[in-house]
Amino acid sequence: MTTVDNLLISIVQSVSPTIEEQITSRDARVLRSLASSIINHIFLTENQSKLLVKILKENSSKILEFTSAIDESLADPVWSREFRKIDQIKKFYIGKNSDQDASLFIEFNFNSEYRKLLSGLSKQVENLSITAAGKINTADLTEKNIVILYEALSPLDFEIDETIKNYYKIIKSWSEIDIQNQFLIGNIDYKNFHQAITDDLGIETSIDHNIINDRSVRYQYRLEDAKNPGETLTENIANRSKSKFWISKEKHTLDEIIASLVKLHRLPLLVVFDTYVNDRYYQNLKILSSALENNGITDNIGVYFRLANDESGKQFNQFIANKSYNYNLDKNTKVAVVMSGKLPKFFLRTPWQPMSVIALDTKMGLRHGKTSVYSNRCDLIIEWSDRETLMEDKVIGRW
């Protein structure tokens, strides 16, 4: 009886007709590839033999010259050699990535099931990099990643680094409630923590419940009785769970927002005008000016960009001059106004830092550019617009 592998070579070497003239190009390409391996003394693996048998069975009636030989051979398949063995690699370990940072490595021979598993975990695992070619995949070395990947790979008999096993045991031994309780404000007795809040607010500042709630994002402590959302705009801002917060122009005026910031001791303030909504520069500057004056903020205000001297630009520039909004940026600046994406370099050379940010009429939110990077240092970034935009953090506060 002809062995299956020798039969394959005879089939692909037939020229009248060729294999491509009888079956689909995809199946013909696979058969030629398998035959080439055999001819070059690289015998088939067991999985390759199963693929070969499958293709021959499906196409037996189409390969007319060899139909009877195929049916006879596949009735009881015989091979001329033992199947080629592949060393199975299934490892999960800690190593150094291309930037020489410690990372998690998942290494295995090509396996569609394993690749499918990793693809399914990509939304849960931070910075999971699945290589298109090759066998090494990486992920950030974090507690969350260790737990997710360990529990996914352990049942598949991966060889797991002892260090990862020990990390996993330690992480699983933690009590979530105990960890969370460590960050309750009443349980934090570190001197530097209390000093930081005192430096922020000042010794003589009257600290109400809203201010305590508001600073929880900034100083990363928890509250037992936090309200989210609150009943008023001030409470809602104070009880936010994220630094970015959208406020509807239809529901609240800029006066109300700045009044809340004053109550929460959230000055100095950085105001960002969107470069995509340039037809509202003058209008928004007048609204901002009125809101500041209504809240008793009339000095130490700087607008750090000017418009071209067309009709609307002249009005904008003249308004700045009339209101003396040309205060040099220093530690006493109460309000600084810039254009989105065009942060002046002197902002990086002065010790001034905003306690809050308001982005006016942003279409894309503070997502890109120097102004966005600079603003992200702040734990309160308010977007005041008609509609909520697609900000980077999809889970944002809103009111």
Q: What tens digit of pLDDT does each residue of 207-260 get?
A: 677 888 888 888 878 776 666 666 899 999 998 888 899 999 999 999 999 999
What pLDDT does residue 242 have? 86
Would you state the structure tokens that stand for residue 71, as one six-digit string? 């049916």
pLDDT tens across 187-222, in order?
A: 666 667 667 766 776 655 566 778 888 888 888 787
Asked whether the predicted pLDDT for residue 73 surpasses 50, the reply is: yes
Q: Which two tokens stand for residue 261?
A: 């910031």
Amino acid at 335: V
pLDDT attached to residue 306: 93
| pLDDT at residue 71, as a whole number | 92
- pTM for this prediction: 0.59
pLDDT band of residue 396 (cuts 50, 70, 90) is very low
User: How far apart are the C-alpha atoms of 33 and 216, rounded to whole Å?
Assistant: 63
Question: How does DSSP assign 230-290, residue by residue?
Answer: -SSHHHHHHT-SSSEEEEETTT--HHHHHHHHHHTT--SEEEEE-TT-GGGHHHHHHHHHH
Is 147 a residue whose pLDDT tops 90? Answer: yes
pLDDT band for position 87 (cuts 50, 70, 90):
confident
Least confident of 254-263, 323-332, 372-381: 372-381
Name the phi and psi angles at 108, rounded to 5.
Answer: -160, 155
Q: How far apart are CA 115 and CA 95, in angstroms?
A: 20
Mean pLDDT of 252-279: 90
> SS3 for 92?
strand
pLDDT at residue 76 is higher than 70? yes
Share of the chain above pLDDT 90, in %: 57
**Residue 373 and residue 367: Cα distance in Å, rounded?**
8
Model pLDDT, residue 124:
92
pLDDT, residue 223, reads 75
**Buried/exposed 207-244: b ≥16 CB within 10 Å, e otherwise:** eeebbebbbbbeeebeeeeeeeebeebbbbbbbbeebb
Res 134: pLDDT: 56
Tokens describing residue 144: 């969350």
